[in-house]
Amino acid sequence: MRAYERLLNYVVIHTTSDEASSTVPSTKRQFDLANKLKDEMISLGIEDASVDSNCYVTGHIPASKGCESAPSIGFISHLDTSSDSSGENVHPIIHENYDGGDVELGNGLTLRAELFPHLKTLKGRTLITTDGTTLLGADDKAGIAEIMTMVEELTKNDIPHGRICIAFTPDEEIGHGAALLDLEKFGADFAYTVDGGAENEIEYENFNAAKAVFKIRGISVHPGDAKDKMVNAALIACEISSMLPSAETPAHTEGREGFFHLTDISGDVEKAEIAYIVRDHNPAFFEAREQTLLNIEKRINEKYGEGTVSLTLTEEYRNMIEKIRPHMHIVETAKRCILAQGVSPLEVPVRGGTDGARLSYRGLPCPNLGTGSYAFHGPFEHITAEGMDIATAVLCSIVKEYSKNNIRTKNASER
């Protein structure tokens, strides 16, 4: 079975996570896909495939004869889809021999080559899109499909391999996917998340990230008698926003450039709240951004009175490159294996976070590989069957490369 055929089976299963939930997983529906995958893994010969009470799917393929001393390699993807767009009742549309131009999705939406210039490079492929009413769910069911197809390829073609460790995690989209993965049970020396964009991408840098919430306390007085008495919390929220650089937002930055992103603003005269996510690849610049927010809190309280504003800064994750750098063989191997598929490796800084960043800081070096998908989290999401084939071949090539060397890396021997 080709990877895209698996994808079509997986995307119709509703697995959207819920940031407001206090349960693990955040939505029980993620178990629907988890249990399906466990059964499929068993059918492919993974005897210890299991789903734990937190909805983590794990399984292992023992090393083939003669490869017992090769490193144990992990492959990880996530079960959930983003809540930014509906993930229920997904109807994928297949466009055979795509012409490289605009695609009418339905629901009044058009996938435009002008907005997505990479589309012209997909000409002649089998393009898979949404019907315009939901996201597709290739983030990250494409990664799951490619890992499962890799497993089938390894067993069907009797490809030599070291020990393979597989995990499918819940709640990655709400930042919890790596939190409860039992790394001792998982048993990998290093791993790859398969959760990126184009099939030739490899990502081992990501933003340093924090969430910032200003809570504002105003003084509500009848507007007819408000002079020198009223403190309007909603206006202070607007003032805080104006104190941040207008050009340093996601809409005006790219690559490794950081930003302040206003995610929510609410309130009235008496109380208000304004929330940001703060991002920067450079750790010194990131800390400077946090200090900027603290300075704003100080200045507002000096102007309107102590206690008018309280700022809560919550650090979310750090740039994984600090943990990947000592183990660059993982990246270099992936680059060689991408090149072996006839495409040039594309090293891309992640403008966000990944399970790989969190896992790297937990002691499991874990860069991210592309799946062949584009335009995540919305109705313009799309992927090609051929891109998924290449991504699957990269995974198989990585396994073969390490089994061919059959030598544990320094990192592997230390674990």
CA separation for the pair 354, 196 (Å, rounded)? 9
What percent of the chain stands above pLDDT 90? 91
> The sheet that has 309-317: what strands, in order across it?
259-267, 271-280, 208-217, 309-317
Q: Are residues 176 and 227 located together in one domain of the fold?
A: no
Q: Are residues 37 and 160 located together in one domain of the fold?
A: yes
Which residue segment(s) compose the domain that 173 sits in? 3-205+319-414
pLDDT at 316: 86
Reported as type and span, the H/E element at residue 213 is strand 208-217
| CATH code: domain of residue 233 | 3.30.70.360
Q: Are residues 302 and 236 located together in one domain of the fold?
A: yes
DSSP codes, 253-303 = --TT--EEEEEEEEE-SSEEEEEEEEEESSHHHHHHHHHHHHHHHHHHHHH
Q: Are residues 212 and 308 located together in one domain of the fold?
A: yes
Q: Are residues 174 and 295 located together in one domain of the fold?
A: no
Q: Are residues 302 and 341 located together in one domain of the fold?
A: no
For the segment 264-301, what is each residue's pLDDT rounded down to a tens digit? Answer: 999 999 999 999 999 999 999 999 999 999 999 999 99
Residues known to be catalytic = 80, 172
Q: Give the CA distances from residue 79 to residues 196, 211, 411, in Å, rounded to whole numbers and listed in that order.
A: 14, 24, 28
Tokens of 142: 């494409």
Our CA angle for 154, 156, 158, nearest 5°, is 60
- Given 276, 296, 317, which residue is the final one in a domain? 317
Q: Are residues 280 and 331 located together in one domain of the fold?
A: no
Q: Are residues 165 and 47 located together in one domain of the fold?
A: yes
Q: Are residues 114 and 178 located together in one domain of the fold?
A: yes
For the segment 199-211, what is each residue's pLDDT rounded down to a tens digit? Answer: 999 999 999 999 9
| CATH code: domain of residue 384 | 3.40.630.10
Q: For the chain, list residues with pLDDT below 50.
A: 407-415
Tokens of 158: 């009797």
- Given 282, 317, 352, which residue is the final one in a domain? 317
Q: Are residues 45 and 127 located together in one domain of the fold?
A: yes
Q: Are residues 77 and 149 located together in one domain of the fold?
A: yes
Rounded-to-5 percentages of helix, strand, coil across the chain: 35, 25, 40
* Residue with the two structure tokens 């929220």: 237
- Given 317, 334, 356, which residue is the final one in a domain? 317
pLDDT at 410: 42
For the segment 384-410, what is each residue's pLDDT rounded down to a tens digit? Answer: 999 999 999 999 999 999 998 654 444
Q: Are residues 150 and 87 located together in one domain of the fold?
A: yes
Overall number of domains in the chain: 2
